[in-house]
Amino acid sequence: MKRVMIIVSYDGTNYCGWQIQQNGLSIEEVLNKKLSQLLNEDIRVIGVSRTDSGVHALGNVAVFDTNAMMPADKISFAMNVRLPDDIKIQKSREVPRNFHPRHVKSYKIYEYKIWNHTFLEPTKRFYSLFCYIPLDVKQMRKAAAYMVGKHDFKSFCSKKADIVDTVREIYSIDIRKEGNMISILVKGNGFLYNMIRIMVGTLMKVGMNAYEPEHVIEIIEAKNRKAAGPTARPEGLTLVEIGFENVEEKKIW
């Protein structure tokens, strides 16, 4: 028996998200099915980030256990032949048997893209949020600075989530604008349900001059979902990378 880690990339457009659902096809379900076929045993992956319906990933991470003889680093190639075009495995590798990616200290990087123009180019419709109101990026950067650090992000958590500890640490928020595309890159040690999308919805309110940047302080202090801005749509969001601490020491990756 060995434990294998995979880095998974997907176009989330046609899926109901990572997690197995009754009402649609999920990334997890496709991976379980295709891995089980390939390795000829019942495989259940454990994913690190349960991305929402329509959200994309460049580097989500999952682990699974297998008795198969196939070398772990060859599994990605064998799987990519079987997987549909919108899900691919970037890399596969053996990790220590006791390695659990949700119990190890890690960071995640998400990118949220906003197409800020009066006209939405059709090829961008599944990969960015369309916002025709001009956004003031400088004001958004000021507001984002108040989100960086260790805070109780309860105001930025969907009420549907049943989480006790809502304290998380945001390491950085980098907002760039190239042409009409605004990119918001967020790095943190963990994120609550819908947290990035509510952060982006709040930053957009600032960009539209509906909130002052300083209002973010009050929103955090309120610890109430109603205090923050709306949940930005899923299509703009991509899980870029998940990194694990002390990776070299543990020889995990």
C-alpha separations of 90 from 94, 118, 123, 173 in Å: 14, 36, 24, 26
Choice among 11, 42, 52, 136 that is catalytic: 52
Q: Pick from 121, 214, 218, 245: which binds its own copies (CB under 8 A)?
A: 121
**Cβ-based nearer residue to its own copies, 18 or 211:** 18
- Between residue 32 and residue 71, which ones bind its own copies under the rule CB under 8 A? 56, 58
Q: Pick from 85, 162, 165, 248: which binds its own copies (CB under 8 A)?
A: 85
CA dihedral 66, 71, 74, 80 (to 10 degrees): -20
Span interacting with its own copies, options 35-43, 125-133, 154-162, 165-173, rule CB under 8 A: 125-133
CA angle 138-140-142, nearest 5°? 75
Q: Pick from 42, 98, 103, 119: which binds its own copies (CB under 8 A)?
A: 119
Buried-exposed string 240-252: b where 16+ CB fall within 10 A, e elsewhere: bbbebeeeeeeeb
| Active-site residue, 174 included | no
C-alpha separations of 206 from 38, 109, 232 in Å: 49, 22, 13
Written as six digits, the tokens of 22 are: 């009754």
Dist. CA 140–CA 136, nearest whole Å: 6
Three-class SS state of 37: helix
Q: Pick from 82, 102, 125, 176: which binds its own copies (CB under 8 A)?
A: 125
> Which residue has 């989530």 as its token pair?
161
C-alpha separations of 94 from 27, 74, 184 in Å: 21, 10, 33
Q: What track of x and - describes contact with its own copies for positions 178 through 217 (by CB under 8 A)?
A: ----------------------------------------
Span interacting with its own copies, options 92-100, 101-109, 120-128, 166-174, rule CB under 8 A: 120-128
**Cβ-based nearer residue to its own copies, 101 or 236:** 236
Alpha helices in the chain (DSSP H): 27-39, 75-82, 137-147, 195-207, 215-222, 247-250
- Between residue 215 and residue 244, which ones bind its own copies under the rule CB under 8 A? 238
Q: Is 113 in the site for its own copies (CB under 8 A)?
A: no
Span interacting with its own copies, options 81-89, 146-154, 158-166, 223-231, rule CB under 8 A: 81-89
Count of residues that bind its own copies according to CB under 8 A: 19
Q: How many CB atoms lie within 10 A of CB 185?
A: 16
Q: Is 10 in the site for its own copies (CB under 8 A)?
A: yes
Binding site for its own copies (CB under 8 A): 9-11, 56, 58, 85-88, 90, 119-123, 125-127, 238
User: Catalytic residue numbers?
Assistant: 52
